Amino acid sequence: MKLTPYTINCRGKLLNLAEPVVMGIINITDDSFYAESRSRHLHHIIEKAGQHLAAGAAILDLGAQSSRPGAVEIGAQEEQERLLPVIHALINHYPDAIISVDTYYASVAEKAVHAGAAIINDISAGEMDPQMLETVGRLQAPYIAMHMKGTPATMQKDPQYENVVREVLDYFIQKLAQCRAAGIRDVIIDPGFGFGKTLAHNYTLLRHLHLFQVLDCPLLAGVSRKSMIYRLLGTTPEEALNGTTVIHTLALQQGVQLLRVHDVKPAVETVKIWQYIRNNE
């Protein structure tokens, strides 16, 4: 499948998405579902970021608040206190790195961008803070808008859809109009695997990801080591790398341009193999 040659403006640096790119996850928390991704120590975070970049990550995605099902909200002030020193340290060590910040607070988004972050990754697509879209539009930052049914505390309590593909797609048609009205130029669409979806909902979305290209925006898949993999296989997040690679391959075949991952090297290798096959058809 030929990808649309999108570019996004990251603090004046154009990131070319004509070929898929990998986002490396860095969790600044003790509460994320995958233990190996957690760290609160700055030297460990700097080391992890260097490993991600050396392995081929195009973006570092920082999260200071867990969004796993049932996670406890920490609040904007604590999230900001966790994030800002890390952003400053990473910019100092890796001045060319593109940093994305995973937050649904407009105030945190604004301070993160002023500190050096380039992209805002919002699991609520502006639903949890009515100031978010206006803030991102004013900052002129690329915006990852994710679909979530409910909140992290409630999203997996029997989520229901009549047609999950149609409903998520309709949601993004409306959300994209809101983003454009707020002045956001670069919008990335994330269907929100595992966020208010059952196992069946997740795999139905995966099979139909190509339909989301009608939105004319880059698509992101965040499936790394999630329960849609390890529960199906009867394993754990720690054992879900092989399944993650399979899902990444299927997502690339459906036209996804960004993979948000815990394990950068395997994801980059997956992209390279998929590119070779596509370019030599």
**Tokens 């340290």, residue located:** 89
Per DSSP, 182 falls in state: T
Question: 3-class DSSP state for residue 99?
Answer: strand
Please determine, for residue 153, whether its predicted confidence score (pLDDT) is greater than 60.
no
Nearest to 157 by CA among 146, 169, 148, 145: 148
Residues composing the chain? 281
Q: What is the pLDDT of residues 36-59, one digit of tens each?
A: 545 668 888 999 999 999 999 999
The pLDDT value given to residue 9: 97
**Model-level pTM greater than 0.85?**
yes
Out of 48, 260, 265, 278, the active site residue is: 260
Q: Determine the average pLDDT of the residues in 167-175.
A: 97
Q: Does residue 260 have an active-site annotation? A: yes
Residue type, 118: A
For the cut 90, the answer to whether the pLDDT of residue 1 exceeds it is no
Q: Which three-class secondary structure state does DSSP give residue 237?
A: helix
How many angstroms separate the CA atoms of 193 and 215, rounded? Answer: 18
If 0-12 CB within 10 Å is exposed, 13-18 middle and 19+ buried, where does residue 144 land?
buried
Residue 33: pLDDT band (50, 70, 90) is very low
For the stretch 207-253, pLDDT in tens is: 999 999 999 999 999 999 999 999 999 999 999 999 999 999 999 99
**pLDDT band at 3; cut points 50, 70, 90:** confident
Per-residue pLDDT tens over the stretch 248-280: 999 999 999 999 999 999 999 999 999 999 988
Write out the two tokens for 46. Answer: 């700097």
> Which is more confident, 150 or 179?
179
Q: How many CA atoms, within 13 angstroms, populate the side-chain half-sphere of residue 63?
A: 27
Catalytic, 226? Answer yes
What pLDDT score was predicted for residue 30? Answer: 67
Q: How confident is the model at residue 84 (pLDDT cuts 50, 70, 90)?
A: very high
How far out from the chain centre does Cα 20 lie?
A: 14
Q: How far apart are CA 211 and CA 205, in angstroms?
A: 9
Please check the confidence at residue 31 and state whether its pLDDT lies above 90: no
Catalytic residue from among 226, 265, 272, 278: 226
